[in-house]
Structure 1
Amino acid sequence: MTEEPAIVTGTADWRNLSVLENGSLIFDCDDFNGNIPFTSTLAQVILYILYGSMFVIALGGNSLVCAAVIRTRNNLRPNNLTNYFIVNLAIGDILINIFCVPTSVLSTLVFHYWLLPSQLCAIFNFFQAVAVLVSAYTLVVISMERYLAIMYLFRPRRGTKYAKISILIVWLLAMAISLPILVVSDVEQPDIRYEMCDFYTCTEKWSDKKQKYSYTIALLILQYLVPLLILLFSYISIAIVVWGKKAPGEAEDNRDQRMIRSKTKTIKMLMAVVIVYTICWLPFNVLNLVMDINEDINRWYGLPYIWAMLHWLAMSHACYNPFIYCWMSTPFRQGIFNMLKCVPIIRRFVPDRSHALNTSAVGIPLTGFDGQHNSSLRRKNNCTTYVSVRKKMNHNHGAPIRSASFRCNNSLRSSGPMHRHFVHLEVQQEESL
């Protein structure tokens, strides 16, 4: 802000404009915001707390996801394409935090003028749209990858080249859709206050209102409706297949209970993806559409408060993705625990879960027929334990002799033996979701 008030010649009816004897107007630039919303100390503190906490959680959570994938890449299945997509989703959410949150809070809600150099106006607006579209389209790619993996289980798995090409297409498509914003974005001085104080706002300067309205409709369809419909189609189809899958062979209570828990967890996660995306982005998209249709609403005093709440809700979507996609996956959860244990302060509060996650059966007691000979077996990862009991023909020699052996298949990298088709489906979902 300027230290001295600016003086111009003209007429105006602004509350913080004063008329001098010579007909000139004086405007106090130090009181630029005047009675504009969010200028009180309490309102700004609330804004900083809400957006600040969201910024820290989203940036920290998504950065932790990227680091966990890189750190545990040797422990995860190398052809798991979801790892690539989750990292790309985290990068998109990080960009949303960098380009959308700070400028929206400071320039739009607090100071009401563009704080950065004017040359960055178009660049920031462009990457705001790119980041949002990359996040949305990565969700679509993840859903389609899961759909193909479940519906066409016996087809050869696609390699990493497929994942890299898909990510490249996501970025190119997001940039192509956002290109009009790069062209029309520029700084302007909307009224005499900005001219006197040499302040600018960063906005989209469309030559025709119909073009702006058409582009808003296009963004609503491409950024929200199309991804939402694809998510619904993919995850409803997956939920039907997963819930209808029955284990082959005779019924076993423990096995069936494990499968039911796995199905319930999978369906809850799929529902969470769709519900969170709908709740976060629908209100803000509708508000943008209403603001373009009815320009009179822009003069409503309460609009900034509504805009701030819905904008915060939309931006907070970046906070939930790390929990939905990674926290519910055992390999990622283990990787995050291992990383947190490297921090001395956090180490004491993080439980050691590696033993529980890597062991499928621990300390199975084996009691002899005489009730005295006890032993135990351990089964870890993909090691299959075989127990045989041999009875001697001569019953006078005491209890039968039992022997134990095990066989490991080192080529498998799953958390347990995958001898049955339904077990393979269950483990694959937990690793990739």
Structure 2
Amino acid sequence: MNNYTYNISCPYPCEDYDYDYDELEMTEEWQTILTLAFSSTIILSILGNVVVIVVLLCVRSNNCLNVYLINLAVADLTMAVFSMPFTFITLMNGHWTFGKEMCSITLFLMQVSVCVSIYTLTAIGIDRYYAVLHPMRRRASKKRNLCIVLIIWIISAMSGSVQIAMARTKQYIWDGEFFYTCGEQWPNKTSAVAYEIFVMCGTYFVPLLAMCYTYIMVGYTLWFRQIPGNADQVRDYKHIKTKRKVVEMLVVVLLMFALCWMPLHVFNIVQRVHRDLKQQDITRQINAALIWIAMSNSFVNPVIYCFMNDSFRNHLKLICRCVCNKTTTNQGEFLVMRHHSHSSPRRETQSTDCKTVRGNTVNENEIYECE
């Protein structure tokens, strides 16, 4: 098929582009790749984050960090439901098919969910920093954490308001037919580059530096902290093993966050500076791959923060067992999990059962523990 060029017509200041695609849609090979990649990511993100939300809401716990974990799951779920499908279909078709209003709404929700997820990760790092390095200070309460979550959503909504103001659809002609694209429309290249750098700093470098500092300090403190009292080989070995698991998880958190988002940020700046790169098919393919890598962080977070945690897995198994046994709750009763620990100097076992109790809830072990 011969190449077609099109000129964009829009009622506001913008540049005209001559794209040089062999086909408006992605090639069949790339459509297959994108379908497998995005479909699996969407399914895993939805299932993983829904499971996290259900488990953390069902488990009655005094752990204040659960507020952040639920908020992180909600943000990642928002990304999976309101951003990934639209992005996937647009990449496949090569044009926007959801109307002018949905263009601004989709970009707004995408920006908000990304900011909420990143800032929540940062808040978790700061919370762990004070819990480990300053344990004698006043611990955060659920009420305070809820206020922090509210502030995170307000700041994220303010950041996303730029998408409401600048996101537009542009009409163009391809092979005699009208199509639309959806994106930010800036009056000049300088404004576009400046905004991209601002977004990169505000949603990547600053949070990354904050997480690097907090997690490095937490890891260092846990690794070199000595257990008070007389030495006990079994106890000390278990303590060292626990510390290593925590440090390893913190390293994974930083690496996954950095590796998922860094390529897309760099690529966006390069595209802002060199607008002619958008003319190439290879550019579209690279862009699609980097978008998928960034969005895949939405299903990685539940795995890192929850499914890698022994306590969370125990609660999940308990809920599944209770559901399978058709456990029901009567009026005024709540389903809670109670752990019975039986320890001896050389052996420690733990059993978990389902129980319905009236009135107040039973205190729980923390879902997310440092030691």
TM-score range, shorter chain: 0.7 to 0.9
Please give the alpha-carbon distance, in whole angstroms, between the structure 2 residues aligned to 1:344 and 1:378.
Answer: 24
Residue number in structure 2 paired with 1:140: 122
Residues 318 and 379 of structure 1, relative CA distance in 2, 3 Å threshold: closer
When Rg is computed on C-alpha atoms for both structures, the one with the higher figure is 1
Residues 414 and 241 of structure 1, relative CA distance in 2, 3 Å threshold: farther
Residue number in structure 2 paired with 1:326: 306
Which SS does the other structure have where 2:138 is aligned? coil
Q: Does 1:48 align with 2:29?
A: no
Please give the alpha-carbon distance, in whole angstroms, between the structure 2 residues aligned to 1:358 and 1:272.
Answer: 31
Once the two structures are aligned, what percentage of the paired residues are identical? 28
The answer on whether the counterparts of 2:271 and 2:278 sit within 8 Å (CA) in structure 1 is yes
Residue number in structure 1 paired with 2:174: 193
The answer on whether the counterparts of 2:66 and 2:367 sit within 8 Å (CA) in structure 1 is no
Structure 1 residues 141-160: aligned runs within 5 Å: 141-160=123-142
Structure 1 residues 30-429: aligned runs within 5 Å: 35-36=23-24, 38-40=26-28, 42-72=29-59, 74=60, 76=61, 78=62, 80-107=63-90, 109-189=91-171, 191-193=172-174, 196-341=176-321, 358-361=340-343, 413=363
Once the two structures are TM-superposed, the CA of residue 133 in structure 1 deviates from its matched residue by 0.6
Which SS does the other structure have where 2:65 is aligned? helix
Q: Is there any run of 5+ residues in structure 2 with no aligned partner, and where?
A: 6-20, 326-336, 353-360
The answer on whether the counterparts of 1:137 and 1:170 sit within 8 Å (CA) in structure 2 is yes
Once the two structures are TM-superposed, the CA of residue 300 in structure 1 deviates from its matched residue by 2.5
Once the two structures are TM-superposed, the CA of residue 432 in structure 1 deviates from its matched residue by 6.5
Which SS does the other structure have where 2:369 is aligned? helix
The answer on whether the counterparts of 1:363 and 1:378 sit within 8 Å (CA) in structure 2 is no
Once the two structures are TM-superposed, the CA of residue 199 in structure 1 deviates from its matched residue by 2.3
Aligned pairs, number? 337
Give the residue type in structure 2 aligned to 1:214.
A
Which SS does the other structure have where 1:431 is aligned? coil
Give the residue type in structure 2 aligned to 1:193.
W
Once the two structures are TM-superposed, the CA of residue 257 in structure 1 deviates from its matched residue by 0.3
Q: Is there any run of 5+ residues in structure 1 with no aligned partner, and where?
A: 1-12, 18-32, 346-353, 366-376, 382-410, 416-427
TM-score (norm 1): 0.72
The answer on whether the counterparts of 1:186 and 1:203 sit within 8 Å (CA) in structure 2 is yes
TM-score (norm 2): 0.83
Residues 184 and 254 of structure 1, relative CA distance in 2, 3 Å threshold: same
Once the two structures are TM-superposed, the CA of residue 380 in structure 1 deviates from its matched residue by 7.6
Residue by residue, what CA displacement relative to the aligned partner does 1:277-301 show, whole Å, maximum 9, x if unpaired?
0111111111011111111222233
Deviates more, 1:52-61 or 1:331-340: 331-340
Larger relative contact order (Cα-Cα within 8 Å, sequence gap ≥ 6): 2
Which SS does the other structure have where 1:126 is aligned? helix
Once the two structures are TM-superposed, the CA of residue 152 in structure 1 deviates from its matched residue by 1.4
The answer on whether the counterparts of 1:330 and 1:430 sit within 8 Å (CA) in structure 2 is no
The answer on whether the counterparts of 1:82 and 1:432 sit within 8 Å (CA) in structure 2 is no
Once the two structures are TM-superposed, the CA of residue 60 in structure 1 deviates from its matched residue by 0.4
Compute the RMSD of aligned alpha carbons: 2.9
Please give the alpha-carbon distance, in whole angstroms, between the structure 1 residues aligned to 2:4 and 2:364.
Answer: 69
Please give the alpha-carbon distance, in whole angstroms, between the structure 2 residues aligned to 1:246 and 1:15.
Answer: 69
Which SS does the other structure have where 1:201 is aligned? strand
The answer on whether the counterparts of 1:71 and 1:335 sit within 8 Å (CA) in structure 2 is no
